[in-house]
Amino acid sequence: MLKTEEVLVLEEQWREFKNKKIFKKVIVFFSVLLLLLLLVLLHLVLNMPNNANSKNSIISNNTANETNHAIIIQPENATIEDYNSTNNDTDVKEEMNYTIVPIIEPNTLHVGPQIVIEPPEEKKIIIETNNIQNTNELIKNFEDTGNIVFANMISEEFYEKKEYRKSLEYALKANEIDSKNELSWIMFAKSQVKLGKKEDAIKALEVFIKSSKNSQNALNLLQKIKNGEFR
């Protein structure tokens, strides 16, 4: 049998051997782990430029497609027919004038054409009223009916055409039908001023204002004539 001292020596050797074995396993484990981390980092670093290039290529392609197919209709209020006509190249050439304008998008290297379609010019319809015919119709209506409304309208028509003597004539005819009619007095006074008879206009308005007592329009015109605002 082994002595006690020999047994203790053997146990101590066994413990040292066992500790060395565990330490080697720990070193190997951490070495493998460090190697894996290095490989992962290397893989990420190598793949970063490829991802950036692929994203840039996708953005560039999308921008190119959008620019090549950009069609702008002018003006903004173009009709549905104008938009529909762009679907057929032949129709566009026959029905509309178009201009190809190069466009450079900011922050991109792609240059694409832009088609600006101009709708055909709209025909303007100008309607002119025949003042002579209208005045003649009013005169005929007045002669047929003797209505004061037509007489006042005729007086205003001639006043607008700067035919002040005829305006004065029909203002008097309207006043003969109704001496209290405000418009006939006002047209009479305005025509008198234009004919250079300012004092006659003032006297007429003063007479009418005293008799009516509530004609604000006649009072305003009288003040303007006296102040020289109406000539």
Q: What are phi and psi of 108, to 5 degrees?
A: -135, 160
Q: Identify whether 124 is part of a domain.
A: no
Question: Same domain, yes or no, for 47 and 90?
Answer: no
Residue 145 lies in a domain: yes
| pTM tops 0.85 | no
- 226 in helix, strand or coil? helix
**pLDDT score for 27:** 87
Closest listed residue to residue 175, CA positions, set 190, 188, 157, 162: 188
Domains in the chain: how many in total? 3
Q: Name the β-bridge partners of 104.
A: 111
Q: What is the token pair recorded at 204?
A: 């007429």
Q: Which residues are CB-neighbours of 103 under 8 A, at least 6 positions away?
A: 67, 70, 111, 112, 113, 114
- Are both 102 and 146 inside the same structural domain? no
Residue 125 falls inside a structural domain: no
User: Can you tell me the distance from the alpha carbon of 32 to that of 45, in angstroms, rounded to the nearest whole number?
Assistant: 20
Is the pLDDT at 191 greater than 80? The verdict is yes
Same domain, 37 and 61: yes
Query: 76 and 53 share a domain?
Result: no
Angstrom distance (rounded) from CA 68 to CA 189 = 72
119 — pLDDT class (breaks 50, 70, 90):
low
Regarding whether 159 and 190 lie in a shared domain, the answer is: yes
Q: How far apart are CA 103 and CA 70, in angstroms?
A: 10
Query: 16 in a domain, yes or no?
Result: yes
Residue 28 pLDDT: 86
Are 223 and 135 contained in the same domain? yes
Tell me the CA distances in angstroms from 221 to 12, 149, 201, 215, one per residue in order. 133, 21, 10, 10
Question: Strand 71-73's sheet: what is its strand order?
Answer: 71-73, 111-118, 97-104
Same-domain status, 110 and 141: no
User: Do residue 159 and residue 210 come from a single domain?
Assistant: yes
Are 89 and 142 found together in one domain?
no
Residues of the domain holding 37: 1-68
CA angle, 209 then 214 then 217, to 5°: 75
Q: Is residue 169 part of a domain?
A: yes
Q: State mean pLDDT over 80-105.
A: 45
177 falls within a domain: yes
155 and 216 share one domain = yes
Q: Is 16 in the same domain as 76? A: no
87 and 13 assigned to the same domain: no
Evaluate whether residue 126 is within a structural domain: no
